[in-house]
Structure 1
Amino acid sequence: MAKYNTLLYYCYSTIADAEQFAADHLKFCKSLGLTGRIIVADEGLNGTVSGTPEACQAYMDAVYADGRFNSTEFKIDEVDEPSFVKMHVRYKSEIVHSGLRNPNIINPQLKTGKHLEPKEFLAMKDDDDVVILDVRSNYEHNLGKFKNAVTLDIENFRDFPAMINQLAQYKDKKVLTYCTGGIKCEKASALLLHEGFKDVYQLHGGIIKYGKEAGGEDFEGKCYVFDNRLSVDVNTVNPVVISTCLNCGKVTPKMINCANPECNEHFTQCDECGEKMEGCCSEACKSHPRKRVYDGTGYYVKVPQPVNVAKRAKIQLAE
């Protein structure tokens, strides 16, 4: 039996007094001994939490016991150690930042693309009238993506709406959207429908569920995840590595964060360059005075930064 579980989930469901809910939810998660990161917004929950199987089961039971979150689907990974160091629950304007805040236009509770289960997605993805659309950021699809997928040159999901015009050529196709766990597709597919795309689908449960239920077939590379694992294997059918080292160009599946905290770039780097560059993406970052110690993982726990007293004084005077 696994020592720990990591749960990935989301649920679009209206939460009254979501800010207070977030505070209470943090206390509850800590009482179970969980670690992780949860975003709470008026529109729902988006989280990844990690803990013992017993603690994770207790958490899932509590979420399902709250009638607002009955539709939540948990993707469960067995891990050797917790995937986070601390527990954070934060209130934000959206559970995935898109900049699309008009519920009359984009509301996943009312209208999204047709959900495809992993095996349905597998059966459709190679049809002539289909285009597979990756709605994730550059650093994610550079690490791994579906074979023949259309990818977008975006740094964050909030850049997706500006790319709609570039996708106009696919309006007569069946558009199959996908992301890590499904949450981005809820809004991406809704926006595509709003913009006149007629036949829009989304991979239910995302890449993670596809790996578990369809063997990850034709997903090339690894899948980026938002915890200290940084990436996970998906394809057990026909796996291949597609990512290359930023520094030398050698094929490598290893994703890290730059050791310079003021850069913190997500990029792929082979172990040899990792040692040579001390986990940095460039010589400039390597010589930065705040460079963190590289331990070979490329994952760093965020630490509070010292207060800029002079800057704070200026702000207070201005007020």
Structure 2
Amino acid sequence: MSILNISAYRFVSLDDLPALRERMLAQCHALALKGTILLAPEGINLFLAAPREAIDAFMEWLRSDTRFAGMQAKESLSDDVPFKRMRVRLKKEIITLRHPTIRPEGGRAPAVDAATLKRWLDQGHDDEGRDVVLLDTRNTYETDVGMFPQAVDYRIASFTELPSVVATDRSRYAEKTIVSYCTGGIRCEKFALYMQDIGMERVFQLEGGILKYFEEVGGAHWQGDCFVFDERGAVDPALSPAPSPQSSPQSGEEDICA
């Protein structure tokens, strides 16, 4: 497989969005990249595909901007480019939650890495003996493709629905360790802060999301594949294109999610 697919995001204040969009679009076209980049005042969220040399050149260019220095990407391979075109879009949020007081740039919620989460699931509790509750922050069309089977899945149609349903179900999480997860980390990072903001305790985000979990520990405790926001439809725990049924947001306006 000769095509490198990357997903990455960073919460960082951006105030030059129109000019930044034009520079990024020009650089992507110069390198013949395809995919989607979302830019908002709160940061950047990107999905790109091309041969590795072109991807590496773009990431080197991107990291030359101090706001994106050290930005890391999750990788997977495919035989073909799973995007038809290159888009750089300006949005109000790089992942829409509609809770403007939640600002990940100001400080992240605690994170748990893949190996630690696997160990907790292996032993049936965290390292302090507490029950672990996994919270899937993704939408129904994603969880239908694959998920941690023991996770809480509220069957939501949009990420913006999640705050209200969790706020009314807080007793489920009392005295337990909560780990929120999503495809690549962006939703669970933002939502872990929301849970802290409403007073929930022992809240963690899964570092790097499902894709990083697959990369580091494979499919342990996972059932199915992982929906991705491109023409592959899904990847399996080996991060290879999967034969899972391809789904898509009904409206066509749903955020892509790293």
TM exceeds 0.5?
Answer: yes
CA drift of 1:120 comes to 1.2
| Matched residue, 2:118 | 122
- Say what the alpha-carbon RMSD is for the aligned residues: 2.2
In structure 1, runs of 5+ residues without a counterpart are 242-251, 265-319
- Deviation readout 1:174-230 (Å, 9 max, x if unpaired): 100100000001110000000111111011111001001011211111100000101
Larger radius of gyration: 1
* Code of the aligned partner of 2:167: N
| Matched residue, 1:110 | 106
1:177 to 177, 180, 188: 180
1:143 to 142, 145, 156: 145
| Matched residue, 1:165 | 167
**SS of match in other structure, 2:80:** coil
- Deviation readout 1:130-165 (Å, 9 max, x if unpaired): 101100001111111013001112101111122122
* Code of the aligned partner of 1:192: M
Measure the CA separation in 1 of the matches of 2:226 and 2:148. Answer: 10
**SS of match in other structure, 2:214:** helix
* Code of the aligned partner of 1:67: T
Measure the CA separation in 2 of the matches of 1:144 and 1:54. Answer: 32
| Matched residue, 1:15 | 14
Pair 74,129 (structure 1): closer, same or farther in 2 beyond 3 Å: same
CA drift of 1:23 comes to 2.2
> Which runs of structure 2 are paired with 1:32-111 in the superposition (5 Å)?
32-101=31-100, 105-111=101-107
* 86-95 or 150-159, which deviates more: 150-159
Pair 167,71 (structure 1): closer, same or farther in 2 beyond 3 Å: farther
In structure 2, runs of 5+ residues without a counterpart are 253-258
Asked if the contact 2:41–2:93 (Cα under 8 Å) also holds between the matched residues in 1, the reply is: yes
| Matched residue, 1:207 | 210
Measure the CA separation in 2 of the matches of 1:229 and 1:189. Answer: 28
Q: Does 1:195 align with 2:186?
A: no
2:245 to 254, 273, 277: 254
**SS of match in other structure, 2:88:** strand
**SS of match in other structure, 1:253:** coil
Measure the CA separation in 2 of the matches of 1:71 and 1:200. Answer: 26
**SS of match in other structure, 2:175:** coil
Measure the CA separation in 2 of the matches of 1:36 and 1:150. Answer: 31
- Aligned-residue identity in percent: 31
* Code of the aligned partner of 2:102: I
Measure the CA separation in 2 of the matches of 1:196 and 1:44. Answer: 26
CA drift of 1:235 comes to 6.2
Asked if the contact 1:137–1:155 (Cα under 8 Å) also holds between the matched residues in 2, the reply is: yes
CA drift of 1:93 comes to 0.4
The alignment covers a number of residue pairs equal to: 244
Asked if the contact 1:220–1:235 (Cα under 8 Å) also holds between the matched residues in 2, the reply is: no
Asked if the contact 1:7–1:74 (Cα under 8 Å) also holds between the matched residues in 2, the reply is: yes
| Matched residue, 1:248 | none
CA drift of 1:166 comes to 3.5
Measure the CA separation in 2 of the matches of 1:211 and 1:26. Answer: 30
